[in-house]
């Protein structure tokens, strides 16, 4: 019987202490405040010297890539990217257009159609090709666009 009382007191005493601690923590209202939002004072960066230049650079219009004309291309016909597409920055100056990716109608990558020297493209067979192009202006602001071109014998 003494053994049972000793084991029970070893279990009950820590339970009473734990309940008392939880009641004390709850009484100090720590638990309801755990999920509250903490107000952090904001920092005003407008007084910094480079804030104006940074805002101007970020608000600047991105360059544009436009297609010069419509039409189809003959399979095997070589054409320059500059003949079909034109890149312009916000000031209207011409910028270089780069080919990032070429995919056929099934989504297969077809960069073998692109010749980096001369920036030329040759479509080997008829079908629809998707070109992903990029232009970067003098301030290093990029733009990426996708265009669909048709290669057909018409």
Residues 74-105: pLDDT tens digits?
Answer: 898 899 999 999 999 888 899 999 999 999 98
| pLDDT at residue number 55 | 80
Sequence-ordered list of residues with C-beta below 8 angstroms from that of 150, at least 6 positions apart, any chain: 72, 73, 127, 128, 129
- Taking alpha carbons only, the member of 68, 123, 134 closest to residue 98 is 134
Q: For the residues 104-126, what does the mean pLDDT come to?
A: 90
Q: Which helix (H) or strand (E) covers residue 27, if one does?
A: helix 2-27
Q: What is the pLDDT of residues 13-54, one digit of tens each?
A: 888 888 888 777 766 666 666 667 777 788 877 777 788 888
The pLDDT mean for the chain works out to: 85
Tell me the pTM.
0.63
Sequence-ordered list of residues with C-beta below 8 angstroms from that of 98, at least 6 positions apart, any chain: 133, 134, 135, 136
Higher-scoring residue by pLDDT: 80, 56: 80
| pLDDT at residue number 21 | 84
């Amino acid at each position: 019987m003494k053994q049972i009382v000793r084991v029970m007191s070893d279990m009950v005493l820590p339970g009473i202490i734990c309940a008392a601690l939880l009641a004390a923590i709850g009484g100090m209202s720590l638990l309801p405040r755990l999920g509250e939002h903490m107000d952090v004072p904001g920092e005003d960066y407008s007084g910094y010297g480079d804030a104006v230049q940074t805002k101007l650079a970020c608000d600047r219009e991105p360059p544009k890539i436009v297609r010069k004309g419509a039409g189809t291309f003959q399979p095997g016909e070589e054409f320059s990217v500059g003949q079909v597409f034109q890149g312009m920055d916000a000031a209207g100056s011409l910028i270089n257009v780069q080919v990032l990716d070429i995919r056929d109608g099934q989504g297969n990558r077809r960069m073998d159609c692109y010749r980096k020297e001369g920036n030329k493209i040759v479509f080997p067979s008829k079908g629809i090709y998707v070109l992903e192009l990029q232009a970067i202006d003098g301030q290093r602001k990029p733009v990426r666009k996708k265009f669909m071109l048709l290669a057909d014998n018409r």
